[in-house]
């Protein structure tokens, strides 16, 4: 067996010994690309190490005894295995193979002096060479010296046993013994200039190459932290067609002393200069062309320029997401039109039409088919007019406000939170709404629509994909989508569009039965259309301000200073004023289920305390609705108390659905309806604190063996967010109809990378 192989000795067929990453570097080296030199400590070396030291039996014994659904036990045992690997001395002869290879590398590129290297995990799986294990690819940068290199190879080996890696192998039914780990040891490039290269224009135009370049290490370009130079090259003539030089005031480079990185100011005279000279641009484009031809697909490559020499650090097929970002950037540059204002892109799509301003409810009839509804803020009574509109534009509101959510369910383009649209236009003005970007143009402007994904070609996913759907009229249209059911049916939408009357008024008028029948009818419509797929009905989550406009609402909805934090969701159901109305909601559910539609499950919104759940379950029982094999009761996880006490809440119910809209509002203390905070970017589901809370909920639920879903806007607005949810182990994701295809694709890709595919 070979303990160590050099990049020049391997190719893409060598995944079994070098892992995916190692084999790819080998292939690129074979192709003649200037890959920073290095070697791979083979998967066999790892195997030899755990066999000769007797660790193998100990490791697999611990794994056999681990129940991966018990998070504490999983974490404890993963740590035990990692400690075993890290604290066991590598047999001297094996160690010497690694040390000798490193010395050789130092001789070749450092003139005998120790050189900085990156040590990267490169996992492999017997019999399944194509399996990808991206979840466990640990990388250690800025490693120097023989001892450190050996130590970091050992750390890579240990990284095969992180709790997450164990969990996914187990979940996928992948025998642990079949997965091995190679370690790549590669010279670090200390680049003066670096960047990315796409060998096809993101619009799908394969005749162009796009290069982006910035000073310093590549992470600023890849991470989008600075605006790079952009060079466009014609593939056939290899001529530079355009250059866009961006000002760069700071960069990232190796920190003094060599460990880690630091931020440096760029001297003023260099800030506006072209980062990469023309001849190097052409040289790079040629390398890109060569790589694309070799692999047969357009490539997304990372490159670095050090001491006058170009290196190719990474090359992979262009992913759809990267493409999309670039398409959007280019689209915006190409569109010629006078921008009136901008807002938040709440519901995607493009429309042109005459403006109809609606400032009070009696103006609703003005809105005819094809008009653009312009208003300060929508409310539930406007839904019939919203349905007729070609697009909706509002002054107020954030990405998760009423107008945003309803427009997406109705499939109507909407831009919210412009701050001023009602002041900028008058009835009859023609405007064009690009709700995919959140831009309003004066007059008619031609904007190309994004190509839609082909639903028939969507991959299957293990993570269930549900739909957010509360407007029953839309059920038939969306039932054809490849979804596993309805993950969020907001009951208050049915009440506002179907019944329009406040339940307490119906009781007062002696018309409670009629009210129940109407609600049951709306719910049944969705359940029937989706049968046998589950439909999760969320009991009403009235906010006093939004729903005062229901018939009779003023009498029953108190004026509150902070309705978002007020008498909403669960707190109503057991309070004496609303309990009789809650019982009507329950009667409607019972009626639908008794009619044979047993795919109806329920969910409690805005849960603050465990005690509330207990009380409500009791009331439900009195109305003949008890949790069971065929009747699931979930709670929404949207108040941070549920994240902090996830395990305790899990004891009470069958599952959770994370409401990222309210959770973000409450973790960050940002009013989700505020257009100002929204435009400032403060309402951000991707904030690490929000993600931490989400992760706590998922882990708490899983630990207790409960289902955990997410039904807020986050993955619909940012399909990449779904990747994070899959990594955390979510069971299902519920999204808006227009987001199904994109989210499904991202989920499938993430599952593949995590080795979770079917």
Binders of ligand PEP in range 531-550 (CB under 6 A): 541
- With the C-alpha atoms ordered 18, 4, 83, 644, is the resulting torsion angle positive or negative? negative
Q: Which is nearer to ligand PEP, 101 or 711 (CB)?
A: 711
| Residue 231 exposed, middle or buried by CB count within 10 Å (0-12, 13-18, 19+) | buried
Least distance from Mg ion to the Cβ atom of residue 305, Å: 49
Q: Does 400 bind ligand PEP (CB under 6 A)?
A: yes
DSSP-assigned letter for residue 499: I
CA distance 563 to 545: 6
Query: In sequence order, which residues have a C-beta less than 8 Å from that of residue 538 and are 6 or more positions away?
Result: 488, 489, 490, 491, 602, 603, 604, 605, 636
Residue 664 CB, nearest approach to ligand PEP (Å): 8
26: closest CA among 59, 49, 2?
2
Chain CA centroid to CA 532, Å: 28
Q: In this structure, are residues 515 and 501 in contact, taking their beta carbons and an 8 Å threshold? A: yes
Query: Which of 398, 553, 563, 659 touches ligand PEP (CB under 6 A)?
Result: 659
Q: What angle do CA 27, 29, 30 make, to 5 degrees?
A: 65
Judge residue 451's burial from the number of C-beta atoms within 10 Å of its C-beta, 0-12 exposed, 13-18 middle, 19 or more buried. exposed
Whichever of 638 and 675 has its CB closer to ligand PEP, that residue is 638
Picked from Mg ion, ligand PEP, none, the partner binding residue 35 (CB below 5 to 8 A depending on kind) is none
The entry of ligand PEP, Mg ion, none that residue 599 binds, CB within 5 to 8 Å by partner kind: none
Q: CB under 5 to 8 A by kind: which of ligand PEP, Mg ion, none does 400 bind? A: ligand PEP
Least distance CB 618 / ligand PEP (angstroms): 24
Q: Give the one entry of ligand PEP, Mg ion, none that residue 315 binds, where binding means its C-beta sits below a cut-off of 5 to 8 angstroms depending on kind.
A: none
8-state DSSP, 304: E
HEC states along 129-195? Answer: CCCCCHHHCCEEEEECCHHHHHHHHHHHHHHHHCHHHHHHHHHCCCCHHHEEEEEEEEECCCCCEEE
* 504/555 Cα distance (integer angstroms): 9
Nearer of residues 499 and 642 to Mg ion, judged by Cβ: 642
Nearer to ligand PEP, 560 or 598 (CB): 560
How far are the Cα atoms of 512, 579, 581 from residue 576, in angstroms, in the given order?
17, 5, 10
Give the shortest CB-403-to-ligand PEP separation in angstroms: 12
Candidate ranges 9-17, 241-249, 657-665, 738-746; the one touching ligand PEP (CB under 6 A): 657-665
Determine contact, residues 394/373, Cβ cutoff 8 Å.
Answer: no
- To the nearest 10 degrees (0 to 180), the angle between helices 55-64 and 43-52 is 90
Identify which of residues 638 and 673 has a Cβ nearer to Mg ion in the complex.
638
Q: Which residues in 444-503 contact ligand PEP (CB under 6 A)?
A: 488, 490
Task: Tell me how far, at minimum, the Cβ of 570 lies from ligand PEP, in Å.
Answer: 13
**Out of ligand PEP, Mg ion, none, which partner does residue 660 contact, by CB within 5 to 8 A per kind?**
ligand PEP
- Between residues 138 and 638, which has the closer beta carbon with respect to ligand PEP? 638
Q: Which stretch binds ligand PEP (CB under 6 A): 150-158, 497-505, 521-529, 660-668?
A: 660-668
417 binds, among Mg ion, ligand PEP, none (CB under 5 to 8 A by kind): none
Query: Interface residues for ligand PEP in 183-202 (CB under 6 A)?
Result: none
Work out how close the CB of 357 gets to Mg ion at its nearest, in angstroms, rounded to a whole number: 30
Binding mask 351-390 for ligand PEP (x = CB under 6 A): ----------------------------------------
- Which CB sits closer to Mg ion, 95 or 557? 557
Choose which of 136, 194, 436, 660 interacts with ligand PEP (CB under 6 A): 660
How many residues of this chain interact with ligand PEP, rule: CB under 6 A? 11
Q: Which stretch binds ligand PEP (CB under 6 A): 7-15, 132-140, 646-654, 659-667?
A: 659-667
The strand order across the sheet containing 229-234 reads 240-244, 229-234, 208-215, 193-198, 299-306, 309-317
Q: Which does 212 bind (CB under 5 to 8 A by kind): Mg ion, ligand PEP, none?
A: none
Region 707-726 residues binding ligand PEP, contact defined as CB under 6 A:
711-712
Q: For the chain, first and last CA: distance in Å?
A: 33
- Indicate left, alpha or beta for 216 from its phi (over 0: left) and psi (-120 to 50: alpha): left
**Beta-ladder partners of 594:** none
Q: Which is nearer to ligand PEP, 438 or 659 (CB)?
A: 659
Question: Considering just the CA atoms, what is the radius of gyration of the chain in Å?
Answer: 29
Min dist CB 397 to Mg ion, Å, is: 15
485 is an interface residue for Mg ion by CB under 5 A: no
* Dist CA 546 CA 383 (whole Å): 13
Total residues in contact with Mg ion, by rule CB under 5 A: 3
In the bound state with Mg ion, the residue whose beta carbon lies nearer, of 218 and 659, is: 659
* Nearer residue to Mg ion within complex by CB, 302 or 638: 638
Range in contact with Mg ion (rule: CB under 5 A) among 350-358, 387-395, 408-416, 631-639: 631-639
What DSSP letter does each residue of 326-358 carry, written as one string? HHHHHHHHH--S-EEEE-EEEE--EEEEEEEEE
Among 29, 436, 661, 732, which residue interacts with ligand PEP (rule: CB under 6 A)?
661
From residue 318, how far is each of 201, 325, 374 by CA, in Å? 10, 12, 40
Q: Which two tokens stand for residue 83?
A: 């400690």
φ, ψ at 573 (rounded to 5°): -60, -35
For Mg ion, give the closer residue by CB, 135 or 640: 640
Kindly state the smallest distance separating residue 666's Cβ from Mg ion, in Å: 10
The answer to whether residue 638 forms part of the interface with ligand PEP (CB under 6 A) is yes
* Partner in contact with 751, chosen from ligand PEP, Mg ion, none, beta carbon below 5 to 8 Å by kind: none
Other CB atoms within 10 A of residue 384 CB: 12
Q: Which residue number, 246 or 668, has a Cβ lying nearer to ligand PEP?
A: 668
Q: Which among ligand PEP, Mg ion, none contacts residue 503 (Cβ within 5 to 8 A by kind)?
A: none
634-693 binders of Mg ion (CB under 5 A): 638, 659, 662
Minimum Å gap between C-beta 717 and Mg ion is 15
CB of 554 vs ligand PEP, minimal distance in Å: 22
The two tokens of residue 682 are 């403060």
Residue nearest to ligand PEP (CB): 659
Name the one range near ligand PEP by CB under 6 A: 127-135, 434-442, 655-663, 674-682: 655-663
Beta-carbon count within 10 A of 75 CB: 14
Checking DSSP bridges between strand 655-658 and strand 633-637, what pairing results, if any?
A: parallel
Q: State the catalytic residues.
A: 402, 711
Eight-class DSSP state of 3:
S
By CB under 6 A, which span of 254-262, 307-315, 654-662, 692-700 interacts with ligand PEP? 654-662
What six digits make up the tokens of 199? 């060998």
**Nearest distance from C-beta of residue 659 to Mg ion, angstroms:** 4
Measured from the CB of residue 274, what is the shortest distance to ligand PEP in angstroms? 46
Show contacts with ligand PEP in window 4-33 (CB under 6 A).
none
Is residue 217 involved in binding ligand PEP (CB under 6 A)? no
Give the C-alpha distances (Å, rounded to integers) separating 470 from 201, 266, 482, 693.
Answer: 40, 54, 18, 26
Instruction: Give the shortest CB-419-to-ligand PEP separation in angstroms.
Output: 22
**Cα distance between residue 102 and residue 51, in whole Å:** 24
Would you say 38 or 659 has its CB closer to Mg ion?
659
Residues contributing to the site for Mg ion (CB under 5 A): 638, 659, 662
Residues contributing to the site for ligand PEP (CB under 6 A): 400, 488, 490, 541, 638, 659-662, 711-712
């Amino acid at each position: 067996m070979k303990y160590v192989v050099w990049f020049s000795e391997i190719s893409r067929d060598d995944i079994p010994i070098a892992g995916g990453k190692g084999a790819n570097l080998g292939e690129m080296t074979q192709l003649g690309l200037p890959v920073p030199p290095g070697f791979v400590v083979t998967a066999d070396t790892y195997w030899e190490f755990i066999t000769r030291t007797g660790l193998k039996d100990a490791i697999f014994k611990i794994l056999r005894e681990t129940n991966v659904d018990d998070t504490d036990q999983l974490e404890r045992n993963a740590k035990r295995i990692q400690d075993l690997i890290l604290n066991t001395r590598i047999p001297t002869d094996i160690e010497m193979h690694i040390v000798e290879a490193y010395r050789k590398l130092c001789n070749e590129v450092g003139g005998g002096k120790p050189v900085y290297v990156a040590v990267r995990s490169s996992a492999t799986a017997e019999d399944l060479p194509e399996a990808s294990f991206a979840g466990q690819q640990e990388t250690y940068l800025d490693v120097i010296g023989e001892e450190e290199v050996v130590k970091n190879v050992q750390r890579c080996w240990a990284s095969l046993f992180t709790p997450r890696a164990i969990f996914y192998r187990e979940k996928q039914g992948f025998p642990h013994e079949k997965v091995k780990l190679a370690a790549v040891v590669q010279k670090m490039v200390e680049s003066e200039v670096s960047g990315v290269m796409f060998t096809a224009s993101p619009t799908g135009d394969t005749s162009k190459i796009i290069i982006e370049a910035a000073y310093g290490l590549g992470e600023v370009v890849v991470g989008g932290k600075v605006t790079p130079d952009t060079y466009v090259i014609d593939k056939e003539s290899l001529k530079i067609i355009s250059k866009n030089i961006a000002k760069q005031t700071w960069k990232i480079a190796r920190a003094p002393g060599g460990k880690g990185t630091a931020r440096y100011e760029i001297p003023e005279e260099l800030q506006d200069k072209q980062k990469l000279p023309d001849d190097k641009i052409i040289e790079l484009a040629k390398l890109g062309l060569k790589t694309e031809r070799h692999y047969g697909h357009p490539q997304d490559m990372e490159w670095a320029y050090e001491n006058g020499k170009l290196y190719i650090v990474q090359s992979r097929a262009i992913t759809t997401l990267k493409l999309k970002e670039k398409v959007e950037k280019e689209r915006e540059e190409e569109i010629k039109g006078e921008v009136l204002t901008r807002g938040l892109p709440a519901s995607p799509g493009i429309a042109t039409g005459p403006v109809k301003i609606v400032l009070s409810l009696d103006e609703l009839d003005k809105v005819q088919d094809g008009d653009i509804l312009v208003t300060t803020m929508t409310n539930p009574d406007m839904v019939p007019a919203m349905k007729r509109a070609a697009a909706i534009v509002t002054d107020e509101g954030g990405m998760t406000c009423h107008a945003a959510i309803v427009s997406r369910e109705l499939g109507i383009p909407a831009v919210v939170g412009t701050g001023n649209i009602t002041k900028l236009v008058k009835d009859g003005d023609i405007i064009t709404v690009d709700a995919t970007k959140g831009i309003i143009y004066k007059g008619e402007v031609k904007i190309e629509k994004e190509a839609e994904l082909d639903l028939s070609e969507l991959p299957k996913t293990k993570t269930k994909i549900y739909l957010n759907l509360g407007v029953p009229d839309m059920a038939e249209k969306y039932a054809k989508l490849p979804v596993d059911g309805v993950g969020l049916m907001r009951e208050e939408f049915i009440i506002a569009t179907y019944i329009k009357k406040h339940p307490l008024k119906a009781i007062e008028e002696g018309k409670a039965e009629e009210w129940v029948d109407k609600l049951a009818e709306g719910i049944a419509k969705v359940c029937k259309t989706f049968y046998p797929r589950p439909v999760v009905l969320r009991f009403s989550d009235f906010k006093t301000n939004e729903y005062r406009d229901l018939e009779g609402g003023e009498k029953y909805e108190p004026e509150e200073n902070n309705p978002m934090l007020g008498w909403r969701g669960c707190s109503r159901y057991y309070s004496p004023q609303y309990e009789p109305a809650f019982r009507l909601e329950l009667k409607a559910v019972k009626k639908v289920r008794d009619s044979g539609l047993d795919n109806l499950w329920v969910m409690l919104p805005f849960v603050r305390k465990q005690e509330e759940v207990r009380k409500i379950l009791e009331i439900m029982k009195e109305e003949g609705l008890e949790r069971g094999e065929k009747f699931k009761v979930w709670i929404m996880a949207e108040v941070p108390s549920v994240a902090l006490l996830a395990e305790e809440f899990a004891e009470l119910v069958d599952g959770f659905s994370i409401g990222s809209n309210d959770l973000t509002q409450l973790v960050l203390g940002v009013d989700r309806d505020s257009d100002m905070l929204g435009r400032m970017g403060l309402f951000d589901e991707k904030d690490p604190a929000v993600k931490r809370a989400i992760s706590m909920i998922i882990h708490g639920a899983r630990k207790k063996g409960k289902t955990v879903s997410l039904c807020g806007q986050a993955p619909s607005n940012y399909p990449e967010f779904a990747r994070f949810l899959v990594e955390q182990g979510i069971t299902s994701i519920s999204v808006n109809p227009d987001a199904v295809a994109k989210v499904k694709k991202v989920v499938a890709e993430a599952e593949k990378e995590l080795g979770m595919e079917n």
